[in-house]
Amino acid sequence: MHDLCTAPELLRRLEASIPTVAAAESLAAFLGRHGQHLRELTLTAQALPNEPAGEFLSAISGCLMAAGVAGQVQQLALLKCPLLPSSTFVATMRHLTALQWQSQSSAELRVPASISTLTALQKLQLIGQSCLQFSAAPLPRSLQTLAIDCDASPAMPRQCDVGGPCPPSLADPPHTGTTIVAVSYDGGVVIGADSRVSTGTYVSNRASDKITPLTDGVYLLRSGSAADTQAVADYVRYFTESHEMQLQHAPGVRTVANLVKEMNYQYKHLVGAMIVAGWDEREGGQVYGCPIGGTITREPWTTDGSGSTFLWGFLDSEFREGMSRQEAEDLVATALALAMSRDGSSGGVIRLVTISKGGAQRRLITPEEHPVFWDELAPPAGMVV
C-alpha cells in the first residue's frame, strides 16, 4: 500500500481489489491509518474459491467501517460483491452521497433496510444478474436518482418490491400525517393541532404536542417529519433569541415566519409543512402558511397535514372576518374534530393555543369533549340501516 501511494496522508481516492480475507484486513488497517481525507472508494470484492464466504464478507465490512470512521467517504462502489456487507458499516457512512453495488451472484439481490439510514444518499445504482427485492423500509428521503439494472431469469420475473409492487416515486407527495389549523380573529389568532404521531399505519405517539413556541408571542404548528420540524423549530428559536438580544425587543411574527421559510427553502430535503402564527404590536394577529419547499404566504386562516384534505371547504364556508375569540376557538376545535373523524393519521386530543395582546393561553380538549357528528352517533334501538 505504501509503495502505491507516496503521500498516503493526502489520500482522497482509492481503488482496490480484494481476493482474500487477509487482503481485506490489511486494507482495513491501512484505511484506519491513512484514510482521513478519503472521499471516493472503489472495492472489487471477488473472493478466491477457497475463501470462506462469511469471513470474507465480514472482512469487507471491516474495510468499509474503517474507511467511514477514518474519513468522510462520499462515493462508494462495491463491485462483484455477492451481498451488501453487514449493516453496521452504514452508521459510519453518514456522508455517503453515491452508492454503486454490483453483484455477479445468481441469487436474488436483497437491499437491506439499513439503506434507509443513509440520510445524505442522493444516488443509488444497483446492478445484478437476478431480480431485485427491497426491504419494507423506505428509501432515504434525500435520494434523487435510483438506477436499477437486473437481468431477471425466466423462473424469477423482474420486480421491485418495496412494501408494494415498486419503489415509491420521488415525485410522489410526502405523507404529512397530522392535522393543524390556524385562524385569525378580531384581536389575535387561535391555533390548534391533533396529538397523533404515526409511522405508516402504526401510531407511535398518541399524546404529542405539535404546537411549539418560537417566542412568547409566536408559535409554530408542525406537520410532516417530526424530526425535521423539531430541528427547524430549535434553529429558529436560537436565531430569534439572538435577534432579540441584538435589537433589545422581540422580533415580529413576520420576521419569525421568514426565518422558518428560509430553513425550509435552504434545506429542501426536509419534510415539514408548517404554520407560523402569533401576535405583535405592529400588525396584530397574523397567520403564515409555510408548506414543504419554502413558500410563505399570509392568510386569514390556513390548515395543513393529511387531515386538511377534509377541512378546506368547511373552513372556507365557516370562517368570516371579525369573529370573536370564542367563535374562533369553536371553529378550530370543530375543524380538528372533523378531520380526526375522517383521517386515520389524525387523532388523540385537541390542543388549542390562543395568542393575543394578553399573551398565549393553552387549552386541552380530551376525546370525551370532542364534538360528535351525525355519522358517529349510535343508531337508536330498533333502527334498521
pLDDT in tens, 203-237: 888 899 999 999 999 999 999 888 899 999 999 99
The pLDDT value recorded for residue 135 is 54
Cell of 375: 355519522
Domains of the chain by residue range: 8-150, 180-374
The pLDDT value recorded for residue 353 is 97
pLDDT digits 0-9 by tens, 107-158: 556 666 667 777 788 888 878 765 556 555 567 778 888 887 765 433 333 3
The pLDDT value recorded for residue 98 is 87
The pLDDT value recorded for residue 3 is 45
In this prediction, what percent of the chain has a pLDDT beyond 70? 78
Catalytic residue among 6, 44, 92, 178: 178
> What residues are paired with 2 via a beta bridge?
none
- Would residue 117 show up in a list of annotated catalytic residues for this protein? no
Number of residues in the chain: 385
Cell of 74: 462520499
Gyration radius (Cα) of the chain, Å: 27
| pLDDT greater at residue 219 or residue 16 | 219
The pLDDT value recorded for residue 310 is 93
- Inter-axis angle of helices 53-70 and 21-34, nearest 10: 10
pLDDT digits 0-9 by tens, 255-305: 999 999 999 999 888 888 999 999 999 999 999 999 988 899 999 999 999
Q: Is the pLDDT of residue 81 over 90?
A: no
Identity of the residue numbered 17: S
pLDDT band at 202 (very low <50, low <70, confident <90, very high): confident
Give the C-alpha separation, 366 to 333, whole Å.
11
CA distances from residue 219 to 17, 198, 260, 288, 369 in whole angstroms, order as listed: 56, 22, 11, 11, 24
In this prediction, what percent of the chain has a pLDDT beyond 90? 39
Q: Is 26 strand, coil or helix?
A: helix
Give the C-alpha separation, 314 to 132, whole Å.
46
The pLDDT value recorded for residue 108 is 57
Reported pTM: 0.56
Give the C-alpha separation, 245 to 231, whole Å.
22
Domains 8-150 and 180-374 equal at CATH topology level: no
The pLDDT value recorded for residue 146 is 81
- Work out the mean pLDDT of the chain and round it to a whole number: 81
Give the C-alpha separation, 21 to 1, whole Å.
16
180-374 adopts what CATH topology?
Glutamine Phosphoribosylpyrophosphate, subunit 1, domain 1 (3.60.20)
Positive or negative torsion for Cα 82, 88, 93, 97: positive
8-150 adopts what CATH topology?
3.80.10
Give the C-alpha separation, 285 to 187, whole Å.
6
Q: Is the pLDDT of residue 163 over 90?
A: no
pLDDT digits 0-9 by tens, 338-379: 999 988 889 999 999 999 999 999 999 999 888 777 666 666
Q: Is the pLDDT of residue 32 over 50?
A: yes
